[in-house]
Amino acid sequence: MRLNQNTMLLGKKVVLVPYTSEHVPSRYHEWMKSEELQRLTASEPLTLEQEYAMQHSWREDADKCTFIVLDAEKWQAQPGATEESCMVGDVNLFLTDLEDTTLGEIEVMIAEPSCRGKGLGTEAVLAMLSYGGDPPTDSE
């Protein structure tokens, strides 16, 4: 979904940034090679080219909104830190009825095992619920 392409959501524990092609090779593709994550997310292994195509399609699909979850502590503590170095997972909003944008589902993946159980997923979901409940328009 292009609606969030210029949106950053700041929380206490997480920063949510739009999922871009720059995130694919550095961390995302590596995460998705994990058999555990494939099982937990009901995903199939993809080639790097397929992962790029998936990222592109998710950006273009009107019924999907994806943010990469960054560890806010790392993001703020390391001046000049890249998004890729602070990535811990992703959060997705799927609209289940484009006629009624109040219907949807949210999923979160904290891919970095060392970041699980710290409330990052909870905060990411709450931020997405808030964002999805009243998304900005292109003119905002």
Question: What is the Cβ-side half-sphere exposure of residue 111, based on CA atoms within 13 angstroms?
Answer: 22
The pLDDT assigned to 38 comes to 92
In whole angstroms, what is the distance from residue 89 CA to residue 73 CA?
15
Per-residue pLDDT of the chain in tens (140 residues, 90 and over written 9): 667 788 999 999 999 999 999 999 978 999 999 999 999 889 999 999 999 999 999 888 888 889 999 999 999 888 888 999 999 999 999 888 878 877 889 999 999 999 999 999 999 999 998 887 764 454 44
The pLDDT assigned to 48 comes to 93
Structural class in CATH, domain 9-133 = alpha beta
Identify whether the C-beta of residue 1 lies closer than 8 Å to the C-beta of residue 20: no
The pLDDT assigned to 1 comes to 62
The pLDDT assigned to 12 comes to 96
Nearest to 127 by CA among 35, 45, 12: 12
- β partners of residue 15: 10, 70
